[in-house]
Amino acid sequence: MTVNRGEPGYFVGVEVTRDRGGLVESYRSSQRGIASYSIKRALTLNDRVSDIISAVRGIVERPEYRSSNTTLLINTSILGRPIIQKLKSELPECQMVKIIASETKPGSEPLHIPILDIEAILRLLTEAKQIVVQEEHSCSDVKKAILEEALRSFRLKLGYLADTAPKIWAEGDAGHLVIATGLACWAAECL
């Protein structure tokens, strides 16, 4: 099965955890009605808020982003209110989201995204080979093959769904980049 909805454009997902962050920049294109995602950049970030802001700003200020369909999502699930307010004030073009275990409530602010939806999008896209990690992607510490394998093998642990507390959804060296990729793909397919 292939995923076919959405318009071409740049989609950026940012996952922020307690000790590091991940930023994935992807471009969604469509040929003959079939979407594909090209991972242009996958960056591991440290946990400093100023570095996260700087990395996102470096993307949104580029000319190709200003002149095209661009969506940026930041997962704020495990961040405190002062950090979220700082991100909102410094990065008004970004949409703050929370990844949750259960179904979303309409009109929730920030937008709540069920982790099962992110897992399903990643599963469909990787099985159909619709996500391509570019050879030249700029990744600070995760090799292309490791990221590709992490995307293909991402599955939720069932125990995670029973607990509604905020959590880090993906583990391993590329877990933060898997969730960031999932956010970018989810935005392209569901917003």
Is the Cβ–Cβ distance between 43 and 139 less than 8 Å? yes
Question: Which residue range(s) make up the domain with 139?
Answer: 9-190
Residue-wise pLDDT for 86-142, tens only, equals: 988 998 888 888 887 776 666 666 788 888 888 899 999 998 888 888 876 555 567
Rounded to two decimals, what is the model's pTM?
0.84
Low-confidence ranges of the chain (pLDDT < 70): 1-6, 67-68, 103-109, 136-141, 157-171
Query: In this predicted structure, what is the pLDDT of residue 25?
Result: 86
Answer yes or no: are the C-beta atoms of 8 and 28 closer than 8 Å.
Answer: yes
Is residue 1 assigned to a domain? no
Which CATH number is 130's domain given? Answer: 3.30.420.280
How many domains, the chain? Answer: 1
- In a domain? residue 114: yes
Backbone phi, psi, residue 95, to 5°: -100, 125
Structure confidence at residue 19 (pLDDT): 74
Q: Residue 48 — φ and ψ, nearest 5°?
A: -75, 125
Kindly state whether residue 2 falls inside one of the protein's structural domains.
Answer: no
4 in any annotated domain: no
Q: Does residue 3 lie within any of the structural domains?
A: no
Element (H, E) at 112: strand 111-114
H-assigned helices in the chain = 49-60, 63-66, 81-90, 115-127, 144-153, 158-162, 175-190
